[in-house]
Amino acid sequence: MSGTGTGIRLHAPAPGWEHEADVVVVGSGVAGLTVALRCAAQGAKVTVVTKARLDDGSTRWAQGGIAAALGEGDTPEQHLDDTLVAGAGLCDEEAVRTLVTEGPDAVRRLIATGAHFDTSETTGEILLTREGGHHRRRIAHAGGDATGLEISRALIEAVGEAGIEFIENALVLDLLTDAEGRAAGVTLHVMGEGQRDGVGAVRARAVVLATGGMGQVFSATTNPAVSTGDGVALALRAGAEVSDLEFVQFHPTVLFLGPDAEGQQPLVSEAVRGEGAFLVDADGVRFMQGQHELAELAPRDIVAKGITRRMQETGTEHMYLDGRHFGARMWERRFPTILAACRANGIDPVTRPIPVAPAAHYASGGVRTDLHGRTTVPGLYACGEVACTGVHGANRLASNSLLEGLVFAERIAADIAEHPAAPGAPVVPDPSRFPLLPAGARFEIQRIMTRGAGVLRSEASLDEAAAALGRMYADAAELLERDGKTAEPCVESWEATNLCLVARILVEAARRREETRGCHWREDRPERDDENWRRHIVVRLPSGAAAPVAPTSLTIRTTPTADLPPTRSGTEHLR
């Protein structure tokens, strides 16, 4: 089961510089920085490499908060129940149990690291709010609706104090492996000046992918520009298995900025509904009532579908979120970030309902890992949104993702300390035979995916998306074969090539899953089919594939049950 690599790599110049560490962490969100801190505390020499600045990534944008059974009367068991319900029969129960039982202490350790959560002025206890799918108030928040910003601030400060080395503006390209197929470092491109400029290599004994999500696969998303699925694409090229890519969560309430708005869009957090704002159509009718016992606070997929259905019925492009009854003071105190984003776009939620529509928000699937963050490639770990630990199943429960990043980061650090790896020298790879897509392909991919694989999917729309993505790749491949030409290697073309690979696997998984479940909604297969589909779709690229993204050249299997199988067999371990 161990990865032996596929021979597929991004076109890039040969590394011109080299750096060494014990552990290289790719990405500087909650997952990456927590792994880095915990590994450094155990004495490892850690290098964090990150694509833009340290605080670029989804973490700083998280608004609502972090879920954990911290409140009186709440228990991990109740948190587990809510998570399993949201996951629509596809959660790995052991992974969820790990998340909810280790979660409260992981949050306490985050507080000890320096993060300040909102507390009651009278009792000093952490204030907890509710979000969709939670039957209790269990979401800790900071700065009102600026939880991610505070977590990011605290972790960056702690990383600085711990003297952890980081390389910013560094796009990681591919995994380096030794002759046995074990992870031995990464290649990367640094947009810097001086010693570390251009393509180089960081050699390390363990590689942790913490590259976040892939929201940029779609035109409208809450994710920042760096969320281009690079970690999933790298892992696939390295021979790792990915799972559940079809389960993209579309956040129901994203500020609607017009039908042609592209890229990152402002989110109107679920916590706004948690505090009592409600959804209405243009006539002021509360359409979520009667659709689910929790109405506006139903799990996200239900609310996103409710909004999309109403948009179709009324022939409109958005619905409204009405929080006028909060009054100016509550908006300013509790939701300052959202208030500012709305006002910056000409909408004052104190006096007007906010126009909202669903947009791509969270990747429930990713690089398949076990409970220690180990992927199917020895020495390669994945953590945070890039990983598929099995905790989210077919739909993530609100505010479980920051928690997942924390809990599994700590587990990865413990595993690395417990099983020190000693990979051999990296194998020098042959020049890549695979084309790069041109920089501008990103927008074409986004439009194809939004049309064919968005909130509403069908066999026909997915077939169309698959064919269009296939043509893009085939055109680039033909150019390379015929004229020996490929797009200029640069950040934009590497990202577009990664997006295309991830998009094609996502579409292929969504075509195969002939049912509606969680956040995967097939118009032509509206029922959930437990008999045939209470299982995961696992994909990897076979080694030596001639055309890495042709559906015929993918290795696709389904798991026998909803639990994810171990990433390695028997007693086989990483080293």
Write out the residues near ligand FAD by the rule CB under 6 A.
Answer: 26-32, 49-52, 56-59, 61-66, 147-148, 170-172, 210-213, 222-223, 226-227, 230, 267, 362, 384-386, 399-402, 405
Q: How far is the CB of 483 from ligand FAD (least distance, A)?
A: 28
Residue 301 or 385 having the CB closest to ligand FAD: 385
* H helix or E strand, kind and range, residue 35: helix 30-41
Residue 27 or 426 having the CB closest to ligand FAD: 27
Q: Could you tell me where the DSSP H helices lie in 46-192?
A: 76-86, 93-113, 147-161
Pairing of β 248-255 and β 263-264: unpaired
Q: Say which amino acid occupies 50.
A: T
By C-alpha distance, which of 189, 246, 239 is closest to 214?
A: 246
Residue 301 or 515 having the CB closest to ligand FAD: 301
550, 522 Cβ separation under 8 angstroms: no
Q: Which residues are catalytic?
A: 300
Residue 181 or 366 having the CB closest to ligand FAD: 366
Residue 21 or 462 having the CB closest to ligand FAD: 21
Residue 331 or 362 having the CB closest to ligand FAD: 362
Q: Could you tell me where the DSSP H helices lie in 419-529?
A: 441-453, 459-483, 491-512
* H helix or E strand, kind and range, residue 418: helix 400-418
474, 467 Cβ separation under 8 angstroms: no
Q: How far is the CB of 464 from ligand FAD (least distance, A)?
A: 28
Q: How far is the CB of 212 from ligand FAD (least distance, A)?
A: 2
Phi and psi at residue 542, in whole multiples of 5°? -70, 155
Structure tokens at 177: 């492996």
Distance of CA 177 to the CA centre of its chain: 25
> ∠ at Cα 165 (107, 21), nearest 5°?
100
Q: How far is the CB of 69 from ligand FAD (least distance, A)?
A: 15
331, 349 Cβ separation under 8 angstroms: yes
Phi and psi at residue 398, in whole multiples of 5°? -50, 135
Structure tokens at 566: 């171990």
Residue 155 or 466 having the CB closest to ligand FAD: 155
67, 403 Cβ separation under 8 angstroms: yes
409, 400 Cβ separation under 8 angstroms: no
Structure tokens at 341: 């984003």
Q: How far is the CB of 340 from ligand FAD (least distance, A)?
A: 14
- Provide the strand spans (E) within 268-353: 278-280, 319-322
Q: How far is the CB of 126 from ligand FAD (least distance, A)?
A: 15
Q: How far is the CB of 316 from ligand FAD (least distance, A)?
A: 24
